[in-house]
Amino acid sequence: MGQRRKRRLQTPASAVSYDLVIGAGILESLSSWLDLRGFSQVAVLTDTNVGPLWLEAVERGAGRSLPVWSMRAGEEHKTLVSLEGIWSWMADIGMDRKSLLLNLGGGLVGDVGGFAASCYMRGVAFAQLPTTLLAQVDASVGGKVGINFRGLKNLLGAFQQPCAVGMDIRTFATLPRRAFLAGVAEMLKHGLIRDRAYFEEIAAYEFGALGAKEGEALGELGDVAEQTWVDWIDRSCAIKAAIVEADERESGLRKLLNFGHTVGHALETLSYTADAPLLHGEAVGLGMIVEAEIASIAGFLDEGGVDTLVGTLARVGLPTRLGFLLDDGALWSAMRADKKNVRGAMRWTLLRSMGEGVFDQRVEDAVVEAALQRIR
C-alpha cells in the first residue's frame, strides 16, 4: 500500500459530504475506506474493458465476490438502451433502497452508473471507482451524472452526489497512453482557470519519462511518479471540490469548469460523425485553444498565453490541430445546444489570464470564427 490522500467534499445544496480517497492500491483496500456493512447489497457496474482487468481487485477489497453488470465500452453506449439493461439487472438481482452500486470504470461507467443509481427506486447509493485519469480528476467528482441523447452530450442527467470516490492510480497501468494523456488536458484546465503555478508544474513535466509508446498501455509508474500523480490528482480534486462546494448546481462559478467545453463538446460530437473520434480530453484541449484565442482576440488574455497553451499541449502529446474537416453548420448548431446558453444566446467561459477564468461572457460570432482558425 503506497501513498494515500483523503479529501472531504461537502455540498451545501444537497447537504451531503463524502470522501475522495486517492492512492496506490485503493481498490484492493476498498473496505478500509468504505464501510460496506451497512448496505443490504453491494453490486458492481463496469464495462467490457475494465471488468476483466480490475474487478478482481475490487472483489478482493470487498472480501467477497459481487454481482456484476458489464456494459459495452465506448461513448456510443452512453445511451438509454444501456440504462435499461442496467435497471433490469438491478431489479433482477433484487437491489433495494439500501443497496450500493460501485461504478468501476472511466467517466462513461461513472456517468451512466451514477444516473442509473439516481433513478432506481428514486435513488440508491453509489460510489465511484474511476479507472482513468480523466475520471479521477474530473468526471467522478461533483455529482454530474447522465447520458447522451439525440446526438447531444449529457442531455439527460442529474446532479447526484456519490457516497464516496476511490481513486486507484495503479489502474493506470492498463490504461492506453492516449487515454491517460487525455486526462492531462482537464488537469491543465484546472490550472488555467484557478492556479497558474499548477499549470506550470504540469507543463514542465517530462512526459517522455512515462515510458509507454503510442498505442501501448502505461505500465507501472514507479514510486516517484506515483507520488507526483497522487499529488496532482489531489490538487485537481481540491480545485474542483472548492468550486462544486461553492456552486453545486452550476448557477455561476461552476461554469468555470466548462472552460474549453463549449467548443470541445461540439468537436467531440462532430469527430464521431467525421469518423475520426477524439477522446473527451483531446477535444477539450482543442476547445481550450479556441476559447483561449477567443479571450485573446476579445482582449482579455495576451497572445503569449495562447502560444504557451498550444506549446504545452504539444509537449504533453495532445492534438493542437483538427484531424478532420469541420462542417461549420454542424459545429454552430452543436455549440448553440450548449447547456450554458440562455434563450439561445451563447455564454462563454474564457480566461482573463493564465490562472484566472471568467464565465458568462458574450462574444461576437465573428470572433469565434476567427479563433477557430487556430486549430484548422
Ligand X SMILES: NC(=O)c1ccc[n+]([C@@H]2O[C@H](COP(=O)([O-])OP(=O)(O)OC[C@H]3O[C@@H](n4cnc5c(N)ncnc54)[C@H](O)[C@@H]3O)[C@@H](O)[C@H]2O)c1
138 binds ligand X (CB under 6 A): yes
> Is residue 261 among the annotated active site residues?
yes
> Is residue 352 among the annotated active site residues?
no
Q: Which three cell numbers stand for residue 222?
A: 514507479
134 binds ligand X (CB under 6 A): yes
In the chain, what are the helix, strand and coil shares in percent, each to the nearest 5?
A: 50, 20, 30
Closest distance to ligand X from the beta carbon of 177 (Å) = 11
Instruction: Choose which of 26, 34, 167, 179 interacts with ligand X (CB under 6 A).
Output: 179
Q: Which three cell numbers stand for residue 316?
A: 504533453
Phi, psi of 212 (to 5 degrees): -55, 145
174 binds ligand X (CB under 6 A): yes
371 binds ligand X (CB under 6 A): no
3-class secondary-structure state, position 376: coil
346 binds ligand X (CB under 6 A): no
Candidate segments 8-16, 174-182, 190-198, 321-329, binder of ligand X by CB under 6 A: 174-182
Q: Cβ closer to ligand X: 260 or 305? A: 260
> Is residue 254 among the annotated active site residues?
yes
Instruction: Choose which of 83, 139, 351, 371 interacts with ligand X (CB under 6 A).
Output: 139
Gap between the Cα atoms of 353 and 347, Å rounded? 18
Helix orientation angle between 177-194 and 196-203, rounded to the nearest 10 degrees = 150
Instruction: Choose which of 49, 82, 103, 269 interacts with ligand X (CB under 6 A).
Output: 49
Q: What is the DSSP letter of 305?
A: H
Write each residue from 142 to 161 as x if it is in contact with ligand X (CB under 6 A), else as -, in one continuous string: x-x--------xx-------
Instruction: Choose which of 23, 61, 106, 287 interacts with ligand X (CB under 6 A).
Output: 106
Task: Please give the residues from 61 up to 100 whose contact with ligand X meets the rule CB under 6 A.
Answer: 73, 75, 78
H/E stretch holding 310? helix 303-316
Instruction: Choose which of 95, 127, 164, 175 interacts with ligand X (CB under 6 A).
Output: 175
Which position among 75, 186, 248, 268 bears the catalytic label?
Answer: 186
> Is residue 77 among the annotated active site residues?
no
Q: Cβ closer to ligand X: 197 or 275? A: 275
236 binds ligand X (CB under 6 A): no
Gap between the Cα atoms of 40 and 18, Å rounded? 20
305 binds ligand X (CB under 6 A): no
Task: Please give the residues from 183 up to 202 whose contact with ligand X meets the rule CB under 6 A.
Answer: none
What DSSP letter does each residue of 164-195 carry, written as one string?
Answer: EEEEEGGGGGGSBHHHHHHHHHHHHHHHHHH-
Which position among 177, 190, 235, 254 bears the catalytic label?
Answer: 254
Report the length, in residues, of the chain: 376
Q: Which three cell numbers stand for residue 70?
A: 458489464
> Is residue 258 among the annotated active site residues?
yes
Q: Cβ closer to ligand X: 73 or 331? A: 73
169 binds ligand X (CB under 6 A): no
3-class secondary-structure state, position 367: helix
Gap between the Cα atoms of 173 and 167, Å rounded? 13
What DSSP letter does each residue of 179-245 carry, written as one string?
Answer: HHHHHHHHHHHHHHHH-HHHHHHHHTS-GGGG-PPTTSB-----HHHHHHHHHHHHHHHHHHHHHHH
250 binds ligand X (CB under 6 A): no
Closest distance to ligand X from the beta carbon of 216 (Å) = 11
Q: Which three cell numbers stand for residue 1?
A: 500500500
> Is residue 153 among the annotated active site residues?
no
3-class secondary-structure state, position 153: strand
Residues annotated catalytic, as ranges: 122, 144, 186, 240, 250, 254, 258, 261, 265, 280
